[in-house]
Amino acid sequence: MSIETRGPGSEACESVREVLPLRAGSYPQVDAAAHDAVSRHLAACPECAGEYAFLLRLQAARPVPPPGLGLRIVARALREAPAESGVIPISTAARRKNQPARWWTSPAAAAAVVVLALGAGLVSQGMQGEQDPGIVALLGAATDSWLGEDWFVAGAPLFDGVSDEALALLAMELEP
């Protein structure tokens, strides 16, 4: 990224202020050289420094998707994808790849299924007594988002074919 940042001045400030939102969000488009150049400019320009501080304040209020949204989308996509579409129903795809469905061996994926169970209200009282409080605390915020008329606890087949790693990454989004 090439930006004119030498000292305060309308052209330099204009260049810097285009980059400030990217820097405030720590986006990788701002490479190390640009980052350093902007830092030098901010140290010398109170106006731009003020704007940067304001952008950081806005960034702190960045809305995030509700917990579990990604998993719900994937589950529906895998369940509903019509055969003629580009996305092959995953159970078919998994069979084609001869890929064993090992999702339950992943702790994160298993935790996601705990959420399914909690959300659907299908965890028995006996089981509730055995729940890991840490997992419940971590995932508790997600339970409401799993309640839906088209949703059910048989989550395992829904993610059939998704690797442990991919499912674990999605499950991490459950963390508030």
Partner 1 sequence: MIPAPDEADDQVLAARGAKGDPDAVAELVRRHQGVLYRYLLARTGDEDRAADLAQETFLKALRALSRFRGDASFRTWLLAIARNELLGGHRRDVRRGEEDIARGLQVADDAPLPDEDAVVHDEVDRVRVLMDRLPEKQRLSVWLRLYDGLSFREVAEATGSTEGAARVNYFHGIRKLREWADEH
Tell me whether residue 32 or residue 126 sits nearer to partner 1 (CB atom).
32
Task: Give, rounded to a whole angstrom, the gap between the first and last alpha carbons of the chain.
Answer: 33
Among 49, 74, 135, 153, binds partner 1 (CB under 8 A): 74
Q: Are 4 and 12 in contact (CB under 8 A)?
A: yes
Among 43, 44, 73, 147, binds partner 1 (CB under 8 A): 73
* DSSP annotation of 87: S
Distance (Å, whole) CA 41 – CA 172: 37
Identify which of 87, 84, 37, 69 has the alpha carbon closest to the alpha carbon of residue 174. 69
**What is the footprint of partner 1 within residues 142-161 (CB under 8 A)?**
145, 159, 161
**Alpha helices (H) in the chain, listed in sequence order:** 10-24, 32-44, 46-59, 69-80, 90-97, 107-119, 125-128, 133-139, 143-146, 155-158, 164-172
The first and second tokens of residue 150, run together, are: 């088209």
Among 10, 61, 124, 133, binds partner 1 (CB under 8 A): 61
Does the footprint of partner 1 cover residue 127 (CB under 8 A)?
no
Does the footprint of partner 1 cover residue 167 (CB under 8 A)?
yes
Does the footprint of partner 1 cover residue 85 (CB under 8 A)?
yes
Distance (Å, whole) CA 165 – CA 115: 18
Does the footprint of partner 1 cover residue 21 (CB under 8 A)?
yes
Tell me whether residue 99 or residue 131 sits nearer to partner 1 (CB atom).
99
Does the footprint of partner 1 cover residue 117 (CB under 8 A)?
no
Does the footprint of partner 1 cover residue 32 (CB under 8 A)?
no
The contact set with partner 1 (CB under 8 A) reads 1, 17-18, 21-22, 24-25, 27-31, 51, 54-55, 57-66, 69-70, 72-74, 76-78, 80-82, 85-90, 92-94, 96, 145, 159, 161-163, 165-167, 169-170, 173
